[in-house]
């Protein structure tokens, strides 16, 4: 049974058009209690998330639909929850719906619905810690119960306990209680060693028996565990032998465990790709195909390469181990040169170069020609970044098919007339959903359209954001000029149209994607922005100016 459908590494995708919703999907929407919209930030604030399985979508328009959901729900409005089927109308202008996209589905959509149905009417007792709406939904999709909300709460409680221990040690120190350090040696140390083993076992069980995490996620969890405990002990040992070992040092080590280790974990999350993949060693050249992502050790350096051309040499051996390969890769930065995407020929010898192939079989990928063509477009790029733009990210970008492209009917921005006549939502009728969806970096020229909101580095690390009103292609693929309407100046700011000469191989540009349901049409956004040129800018910040141009005014619906 495949184990790669894991809640820990699934993608959370904001629904932009109701035709993204399909039967059998695991969706999330905010819990209604305490829900509000923070106008300043333009975000919907929620305290908890509700999980459900879609049984049927009765689409009314691009922005509204009646959803038949199976979930833990209380239809009577009291606190008694049961697994039930409900039909409510949902509206994207108020309901912030997310689809959980698993790397690989273990069950077909109809099987997921069947599983969900089978729980209906059964004597299933709701328990916020062991069997809540998230447990139910993951059980239907992954096969076992799992709840990230509960996991996160548990982790907060664990860290709180350690914090209380630190405080207690400090208080004992204030009362000059000598010998408290003995507590650390005789209680805390053995306890933490036991705890480390317990946690390690816990994750391995999750992988082996419960099958709630995939192998790649297991490795990441173990890596975090090892760094947390091993570095804490190293620090403790250094302190013990180089300084006098007192309880002050214990509290320092605990503080390190609490604060520094969390920072290390955050950096690890940024450094290690969000798509953890398995790599398989390549024993035969014929196993490599064009468009594959391979990793190899060549002349002392490690590379992740997108294969664009391959010629194998038949040798005396049964298996072919030698060949010529050309590929595109992000060359890591050296002391005096920045990282560059380049194409190079390699004389491959499988016995020497430690070649592995990244396993994409479970993923939706572009066709091999398309992968090579996509990579080709970025040759010459010099925007290497430790956190977001390394060799493997580049390969993923070329290989992965974005969610947008895999819906059969595709989706576009909702049609204006449908937004005007939206039916109200049953769940949160008066709370506007978040305006912004995400900020993404433009990788190729095709990523930027007229009417987009772009953020460009203007001076040092300062950025300018504005609305693209015109684009003129240049002589080369990634070189073009664009006219951007933006707010200029600090005190007496004026709206200006600024022409940017862009070379995407060196210039970093981010696109701010606002939810189409809250925006005017692209044409209207451009028109509104153009009208303001050379006028005094009434808004204090660039974001507010942009919102003034593109976001429709909000009319809350009347509640009956
Ligand atoms: Zn996973």
pLDDT tens, residue by residue, 268-285 = 887 776 565 678 888 888
pLDDT at 201: 93
pTM equals 0.84
Centre of ligand 1 from the C-alpha of residue 416, in Å: 39
Residues whose CB falls within 8 Å of the CB of residue 247, separated by 6 or more in sequence, listed in order: 169, 172, 173, 180, 181, 183, 184
- Residue 343 CA to ligand 1 centre (angstroms): 32
Q: Write down the pLDDT at residue 306.
A: 92
Residue 409 is predicted with a pLDDT of: 43
Higher pLDDT, 462 or 97: 97
d(CA 275, CA 392): 10
Ligand 1 centroid – CA 535 distance (Å) = 52
Higher pLDDT, 173 or 273: 173
Q: What would the mean pLDDT of 354-359 be, rounded to a whole number?
A: 87
| pLDDT score at 265 | 84
Distance 214 CA to ligand 1 centre (A): 4
Per-residue b or e along 300-325, where b marks 16 or more CB atoms closer than 10 Å to that residue's CB = eeebbbbbbebebeeeeeeebbbbeb
* Alpha carbon distance 91, 88 (integer Å): 10
Q: How far is the CA of 104 from the centre of ligand 1 (A)?
A: 10
To the nearest 10°, report the CA torsion of 103, 108, 109, 113. -120
Q: Assess whether pLDDT exceeds 70 at residue 412.
A: no
Give me the percent of the chain exceeding a pLDDT of 90: 15
Centroid of ligand 1 to alpha carbon of 216 (angstroms): 6
Q: Which residue has the higher pLDDT, 170 or 60?
A: 60
Q: Which of the four pLDDT bands, split at 50, 70 and 90, describes residue 99?
A: very high
Return the CATH class of domain 435-550: mainly beta
Task: Look at residue 244 in the predicted model and tell me its pLDDT.
Answer: 64
Give the lowest-confidence range in 15-24, 108-117, 182-191, 362-371.
182-191
Instruction: Tell how many helices (H) and how many strands (E) occur in the chain.
Output: 15, 20
The pLDDT, as a whole number, for residue 177 is: 67
Distance 408 CA to ligand 1 centre (A): 26
Q: How confident is the model at residue 197 (pLDDT cuts 50, 70, 90)?
A: very high
The mean per-residue pLDDT over the stretch 283-288 comes to 84
At 77 the pLDDT is 60
Report CA(212)–ligand 1 centroid distance (Å): 8
Q: Is the pLDDT of residue 510 over 90?
A: yes
Q: What is the largest CA-CA distance in the chain?
A: 83
Mean pLDDT of 220-229: 88
Q: Which of 81-95, 420-434, 502-516, 543-557 has the lowest mean pLDDT?
A: 420-434
Cα separation values, 6 from 90, 135, 136, 500, Å:
27, 13, 14, 43
> Closest Cα to residue 91, out of 553, 523, 556, 525?
556
Neighbours of 288 (CB within 10 A): 20
Calculate how far, in angstroms, residue 312's C-alpha sits from the geometric centre of ligand 1.
35
What residues contact 371, with CB distance under 8 A and at least 6 apart? 291, 306, 365, 398, 399
Question: Residue 511's closest CA among 487, 546, 480?
Answer: 546
The tokens for 19 are: 């035709």
Span from the CA of 276 to the centroid of ligand 1 (angstroms): 7
pLDDT at 79: 64
Ligand 1 mean position to 113 CA, how many Å? 22
Q: Are strands 322-331 and 301-313 parallel, antiparallel or unpaired?
A: antiparallel
Instruction: With cut-offs at 50, 70 and 90, classify the pLDDT of residue 193.
Output: confident
pLDDT of residue 9: 81
Q: Could you tell me the distance, in angstroms and rounded to a whole number, from the CA of residue 152 to the centre of ligand 1? A: 16
- State residue 301's pLDDT score: 81
173: pLDDT strictly greater than 80: no
Measured in angstroms, how far is the CA atom of residue 139 from the centroid of ligand 1? 15
Query: What does the pLDDT read at residue 216?
Result: 80
Q: What is the dihedral of CA 459, 460, 466, 467, to 10 degrees?
A: 90
Exposed/middle/buried for residue 419 (C-beta within 10 Å: 0-12, 13-18, 19+): buried
pLDDT of residue 183: 66
Q: Write the burial class of residue 183 (CB in 10 Å: 0-12 exposed, 13-18 middle, 19+ buried).
A: middle
Distance (Å) from CA 254 to ligand 1 centroid: 29
- Distance from Cα 379 to the centre of ligand 1, integer Å: 32
- Centroid of ligand 1 to alpha carbon of 68 (angstroms): 28
pLDDT score recorded for residue 315:
55
Residue 175, exposed/middle/buried by CB under 10 A (0-12, 13-18, 19+)? exposed
Listed by start position, the domains of the chain span 7-146, 150-271, 279-399, 435-550
CA of 4 to the centre of ligand 1 (A): 6
- Token pair in block for residue 499: 């022409």
C-alpha to C-alpha distance for 385 and 271, rounded to whole angstroms = 10
- The rounded Å distance from CA 352 to ligand 1 centre is 32
Q: What is the mean pLDDT of residues 24-36?
A: 86
C-alpha 175 to ligand 1 mean position (Å): 48
pLDDT mean over 93-121? 85
Ligand 1 center–CA 218 separation, angstroms: 7
147 pLDDT above the threshold of 60: yes
Confidence of residue 359 (pLDDT cuts 50, 70, 90): confident
Q: Which residue has the higher pLDDT, 322 or 532?
A: 532
Element (H, E) at 296: strand 293-298
398 or 78, greater pLDDT:
398
pLDDT of residue 444 exceeding 50: yes
d(C-alpha 418, C-alpha 64), whole Å: 9
- Please give the distance, rounded to the nearest whole angstrom, from the Cα atom of residue 102 to the centre of ligand 1: 9
Task: Please state which CATH class domain 279-399 belongs to.
Answer: alpha beta
406 band by pLDDT with thresholds 50, 70 and 90: very low
Sign of the torsion formed by the C-alpha atoms of 419, 424, 430 and 432: negative
Cα of 274 vs centre of ligand 1, distance in Å, is: 9
The pLDDT, as a whole number, for residue 410 is: 43
DSSP 486-508: EEE-SSS-EEEEEEEEEETTT--
pLDDT of residue 319: 65
**Percent of the chain clearing pLDDT 70 (strictly above):** 87
Q: How far, in Å, is the centroid of ligand 1 from the Cα of 32?
A: 29
Q: How far apart are CA 236 and CA 251, in angstroms?
A: 10
Phi/psi for 240 (5° steps) reads: -70, -40
Q: Rounded to whole angstroms, how far apart are CA atoms 405 and 518?
A: 23
Overall residue count recorded for the chain in this entry: 560
Span from the CA of 6 to the centroid of ligand 1 (angstroms): 4
Highest mean pLDDT: which of 211-215, 261-265, 404-408? 261-265
User: How far, in Å, is the centroid of ligand 1 from the Cα of 49?
Assistant: 20
Predicted confidence at residue 405, as pLDDT, reads 42
Residue 425 pLDDT exceeds 80: no
Span from the CA of 213 to the centroid of ligand 1 (angstroms): 5
The encoded tokens of residue 262 equal: 């969390």
For residue 483, pLDDT over 90 is answered with yes
Q: Ligand 1 centroid vs 361 CA: distance in angstroms? A: 15
Find the 81 Cα to ligand 1 centroid distance in Å: 30
Sort residue 475 into left (φ over 0), alpha (ψ -120 to 50) or beta. Answer: alpha
Q: What residue has token string 């010998």? A: 179
Would you state the pLDDT for residue 1? 46
CA of 141 from ligand 1 middle (Å) equals 13
Query: Strands 509-514, 293-298: parallel, antiparallel or unpaired by DSSP?
Result: unpaired
Predicted confidence at residue 407, as pLDDT, reads 41
DSSP 418-482: HHHTPPPPSS-TT-PPPSEEEEEE--SGGG--TT-EEEEEEETTEEEEEEEEEEEE-SSTTEEEE
- Exposure of 113 by Cβ count < 10 A (0-12 exposed, 13-18 middle, 19+ buried)? buried
> From the CA of 403, how far away is ligand 1's center (Å)?
18
* Ligand 1 mean position, distance from CA 476 (Å): 40
Q: How far is the CA of 144 from the centre of ligand 1 (A)?
A: 13
User: What distance in angstroms lies between residue 215's CA and the mean position of ligand 1's atoms?
Assistant: 7
Residue 415 has pLDDT above 80, yes or no: no
């Amino acid at each position: 049974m495949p184990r790669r459908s894991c809640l820990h590494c699934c993608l959370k995708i904001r629904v932009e058009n109701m035709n993204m919703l399909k039967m059998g999907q695991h969706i999330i929407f905010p819990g209604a209690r305490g829900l509000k919209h923070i106008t300043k930030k333009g975000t919907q604030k929620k305290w908890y998330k509700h999980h459900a399985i879609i049984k049927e979508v009765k689409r009314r328009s691009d922005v509204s639909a009646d959803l038949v959901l199976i979930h833990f729900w209380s239809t009577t409005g009291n606190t008694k929850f049961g697994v039930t089927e409900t039909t409510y109308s949902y509206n994207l202008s108020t309901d912030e719906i997310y689809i959980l996209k698993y790397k690989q589905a273990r069950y077909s959509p109809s099987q997921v619905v069947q599983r969900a149905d089978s729980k209906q009417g059964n004597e299933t007792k709701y328990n916020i810690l062991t069997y809540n709406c998230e447990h139910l939904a993951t059980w239907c999709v992954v096969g076992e119960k799992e709840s990230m909300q509960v996991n996160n709460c548990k982790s907060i409680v664990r860290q709180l306990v350690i914090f209380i221990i630190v405080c207690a040690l400090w208080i004992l120190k204030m009362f000059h209680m000598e010998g408290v350090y003995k507590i650390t040696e005789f209680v805390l140390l053995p306890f933490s060693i036991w705890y480390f083993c317990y946690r390690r076992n816990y994750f391995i069980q999750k992988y082996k028996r419960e099958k709630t995490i995939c192998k790649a996620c297991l490795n990441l969890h173990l890596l975090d565990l090892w760094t947390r405990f091993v570095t804490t002990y190293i620090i403790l040992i250094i302190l013990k032998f180089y300084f006098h070992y007192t309880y002050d040092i214990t509290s320092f080590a605990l503080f390190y465990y609490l604060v520094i280790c969390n920072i290390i974990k955050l950096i690890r999350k940024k450094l290690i790709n969000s798509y953890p993949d398995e790599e398989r060693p390549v024993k035969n050249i014929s196993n490599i195909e064009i468009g594959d992502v391979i990793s190899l050790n060549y002349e002392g350096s490690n590379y992740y390469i997108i294969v664009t051309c391959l010629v194998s040499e038949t040798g005396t051996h049964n298996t072919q181990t030698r060949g010529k390969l050309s590929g595109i890769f992000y060359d890591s930065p050296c002391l005096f040169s920045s990282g560059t995407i380049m194409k190079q020929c390699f004389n491959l010898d499988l016995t020497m170069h430690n070649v592995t192939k990244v396993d994409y079989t479970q993923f939706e990928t572009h066709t091999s020609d398309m992968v090579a063509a996509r990579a080709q477009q970025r040759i010459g790029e010099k925007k290497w970044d430790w956190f977001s733009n390394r060799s493997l990210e580049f390969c993923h970008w070329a290989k992965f098919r974005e969610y947008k492209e895999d819906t059969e009917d595709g989706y576009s921005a909702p049609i204006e007339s449908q937004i005007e006549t939206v039916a109200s939502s049953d769940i949160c009728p008066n709370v506007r959903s978040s305006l912004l969806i995400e900020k993404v970096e433009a990788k190729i020229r095709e990523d930027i359209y007229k009417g987009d909101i772009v953020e460009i580095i203007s001076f040092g690390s300062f950025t300018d954001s504005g609305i693209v009103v015109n684009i003129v292609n240049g002589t080369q693929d990634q070189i073009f000029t664009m006219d951007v309407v933006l707010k200029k100046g600090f005190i007496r700011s004026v709206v200006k149209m600024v022409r940017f000469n862009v070379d995407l191989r060196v210039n970093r540009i981010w696109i701010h994607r606002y939810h189409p349901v809250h925006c005017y049409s692209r044409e209207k956004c451009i028109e509104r922005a153009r009208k303001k040129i050379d006028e005094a800018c009434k808004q204090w910040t660039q974001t507010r100016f942009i919102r003034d141009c593109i976001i429709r005014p909000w009319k809350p619906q009347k509640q009956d």
